[in-house]
Structure 1
Amino acid sequence: MATNDRLLVQILLLGLLAASLWVLAPFWSALFWAAVLAFASWPLMRLLTQLLRGRLSLAAGILTCGWVILVAGPLIWLGFNLADHIKDANALIKGLQVEGLPPPPAWLAGLPLVGERLAALWLTIDQQGAAFFASLRPYLGQVGNWLLARSAQLGGGMLELGLSLVLVFFFYRDGPRLAVFVHGLLERLIGERADHYLELVAGTVQRVVNGVIGTAAAQGLLALIGFWIAGVPGAIVLGILTFVLSLVPMGPPLVWIPATAWLVWQGDYGFALFLGVWGMFVISGVDNILKPYLISRGGNLPLVVVLLGVFGGLLAFGFMGLFLGPTLLAVAYSLLSDWVADKTPPAEAVVDKPLPGEEPRG
């Protein structure tokens, strides 16, 4: 009878846990980013708490306000600058409708096989500009719907970011109690190895954060240098935008490719070629080298495990997989290593074991 009662209690606890996870499901992403943000900046939280003589709530409030200013300020400033650039783009399109295209560049006709056809197509579009834009008009509605959907996603992302900045306060304030709870839970599950796996997960997440932020900062700086050399207007804004978009897969090309196209439109073909090469091999290329190096630096994981975790996590879970992938593979690799080590016989047993035909050693 006692066994049945215990089984019933376990079933009820599992049902309660499932219901709790279902309630929290809409907030998983915000909770995840708040936890990552709090964990990555926890050394600063510890230092600030010591300076404030242990007042956790005050330290958490100061750090949360700092994150709000640091994140929301640049986004608002970037939004106003993007609005100005959108106005310039609209003026450019209206100018094309009135004045038409400029003469085709001389090098276009010189391209082998397709150069003459491209030059003729350029002149045809220029001569029939009004008809061309009229033919595009039916598709403008679809483009508008697509932009509206992307705007809704962007708005949802901003709300999620705001919720993360609110939740990070509670992670800061209640961080020590959460750490004790997680440590106790792991001790009940895996025993004395709890500290090892906590350090493994903490170190992996910290290296991923360093790799993501470090790579994004490097790409933003390199983009700023390239835009400044090529003479692209708004180089600082584009550099900051590159830094922000570097946090998502294939983000930087959304900045340097339109900048390269603008240089081609202005007739600066040399700088356009430079920026295209710089963007492809330097701005975007550094992501494939610097990020895996920073993530694997300081850990004992093989580089191939890190690479598989980063790219496989992105494909499986989206941007959150950038953190989940390496962490899951790190824990799995450590578990398998421990399991293999436990199955390995001690060195003394191997040395003292008698060979076939030998007398046992006394």
Structure 2
Amino acid sequence: MLNNDRLLVQILLLVLLGACAWVLAPFFSALFWAAVLAFASWPLMRLLTRALNGRENTAAAILTACWMVLVAVPLVWLGFNLADHVRDATELFKDFQVDGLPNPPGWLGGLPLVGERLVGLWNRIDEEGVALFAAIRPYLGQVGNWLLARSAQIGGGMLELTLSLVLVFFFYRDGPRMADFVQSMLQRLIGERAGHYQELVAGTVQRVVNGVIGTAVAQALLGLIGFYIAGVPGALVLGLLTFVLSLIPMGPPLVWIPATAWLVSQGDYGFAIFLGLWGMFVISGVDNVLKPYLISRGGNLPLVVVLLGVFGGILAFGFMGLFLGPTLLAVAFSLLGDWVSSEPKESVQVVTMVSEENRD
């Protein structure tokens, strides 16, 4: 009877947990990003709490307000500026459709060996461009509908971001108690190795935050410098876009390549060449150097495991997979390592019996 009562309690507990997950399902993404943001900035929370003589609520409120100002204000400003730049891009598209590309620069034909071919390619693109615009005109309405649907998704993402910034206050305030609860639950489930896996998850998330966010900041600053030097309008907006798109693979070229094309359309061929080289070797090139270095610091996991987790996680889970992917691979890699290194009890007993027989 006792076993039946325990089974009934376990079933009821599973049902209760399932119901709780069902209730919280609409907020999973916001909770996840709030937890990641609080974890990544927890050193700031500790410093601020120490400066305020241990007043955690005040420190959490100040830090949350700072995040709202740092995130919300640039996003609103970016939205207004994007509307202006979309209007400019529409006008540029119409100019290309009517007038075509500008005449090729004189120095292009003077290049040895390839000059005449490049001029011919330029003129062919100019001639075929008019036909291309005429061919894609019937599909512009479908593109507009697609952009409208994406705008609705972006609006939902903004609401989710706002909710994350509200929830991060509670993660700041109750962070230590949440960590103790998670550790107690893990100890109940897996015993003495709970601390190891908790540190493993925390270290993996911290390494991904340092590598991905740190690289995005570096690429945004380098992009901002290049846009200012080349004289591209809206350099600050393009720098913010570079930061956002740096969080996904091959994102920054979606910013500096159109900026280079705009310089070509304006006849600024020298700055166009500069920005193209700057974007290819500096903005995009730093991703191949800085990100592996930051991710590989302070951990004993193979770098390839973390990188595969980052890219595979994005493909599997969307943007949340940026942290879920490497965390899952890290835990699985550690579990397999523990399983391989632990010798089964049966084999130990067999080895002991064989050694005793040899002694006899």
The 1:355–1:169 alpha-carbon spacing in structure 2 relative to 1, beyond 3 Å, is closer
Deviation at 1:80, TM superposition (A): 2.5
Amino acid at match of 1:302: P
User: How far 1:245 sits from its partner (Å)?
Assistant: 2.0
How many angstroms apart in 2 are the aligned matches of 1:332 and 1:132? 50
After TM superposition, the structure 1 = structure 2 runs for residues 92-171 of structure 1, keeping only pairs within 5 Å, are 92-96=92-96, 101-105=101-105, 107=108, 116=120, 119-120=123-124, 122-123=126-127, 136-171=136-171
Q: Bigger shift: 132-141 or 22-31?
A: 132-141
Partner Cα separation in structure 1 for residue 174 and residue 263 of structure 2: 52
Go from structure 1 to structure 2 and tell me whether the alpha carbon gap of 1:353 and 1:238 turns closer, same or farther (over 3 Å shift): same
SS of 2:214's partner is helix
State the one-letter code of the partner of 1:208. V
The answer for the alignment partner of 1:22 in structure 2 is: 22
**TM-score, normalized by length of structure 2?**
0.86
What count of residue pairs does the alignment treat as equivalent?
A: 351
Relative distance call for 1:210 and 1:124 in structure 2 (3 A) is closer
Q: Are 1:339 and 2:339 counterparts?
A: yes
What letter is aligned with 2:156? Answer: G
Which stretches in structure 2 are left out of the alignment for 5+ residues?
Answer: 346-351
* One-letter code aligned to 1:15: V
Letter in 1 for 2:126: W
In the alignment, residue 65 of structure 1 is paired with which amino acid?
A
Give 1:71-82 correspondences, 5 Å limit.
Answer: 71-82=71-82
Task: Flag the 1:112–1:86 CA change in 2: closer, same or farther, 3 A.
Answer: same
TM-score, normalised to structure 1's length? 0.86
Task: Name the structure 2 match of 1:317.
Answer: 317
Within a 5 Å distance, the mapping from 1:219-238 to structure 2 comes to 219-238=219-238
CA RMSD of aligned residues (A): 3.0
Q: Residue 353 and residue 291 in structure 1: after superposition, are their counterparts in 2 closer, same or farther (change >3 A)?
A: farther
Return the letter of the residue paired with 1:119.
Answer: N
Letter paired with 1:335: L
Whether the aligned pair in 2 keeps the contact of 1:313 and 1:325 (CA below 8 Å) is yes
- The residue type equivalent to 2:153 in the other structure is Q
The answer on 1:202 being equivalent to 2:202 is: yes
CA displacement at 1:249 relative to structure 2: 3.1
Pairing 1:52-67 to 2, within 5 Å after superposition: 52-67=52-67
Say if 2:275 is the partner of 1:275.
yes
Gaps (5+ residues) in structure 1? Answer: 346-351
Counterparts in 2 of 1:256-335, with a 5 A limit? 256-335=256-335
Contact 1:104/1:123 (CA < 8 Å) preserved in 2? no
Change in Cα spacing, 1:209 to 1:19, as seen in structure 2 (3 Å) is same
Cα distance in 2 for residues equivalent to 1:25 and 1:289 = 38
Cα offsets for 1:290-328 (capped at 9, x unmatched): 212211211111222222222222222222222112212
Structure 1 distance, partners of 2:315, 2:46, is 35
In structure 2, do the counterparts of structure 1 residues 117 and 170 end up closer, same or farther at CA, with 3 Å as the change threshold? closer
Distance, in Å, in 1 between the alignment partners of 2:244 and 2:188 is 41
Contact kept? 1:241, 1:255, Cα under 8 Å: yes
Residue in 2 aligned with 1:42?
42
> Which has the bigger relative contact order, CA under 8 A and spacing at least 6?
2
Q: Which amino acid aligns with 1:223?
A: G
CA displacement at 1:112 relative to structure 2: 6.9
> How far is 1:156 from its partner?
1.1
Whole-angstrom distance in 1 between the partners of 2:109 and 2:323: 45
Farther off after superposition, 216-225 or 33-42: 216-225
CA distance in 1, matches of 2:79, 2:256: 18
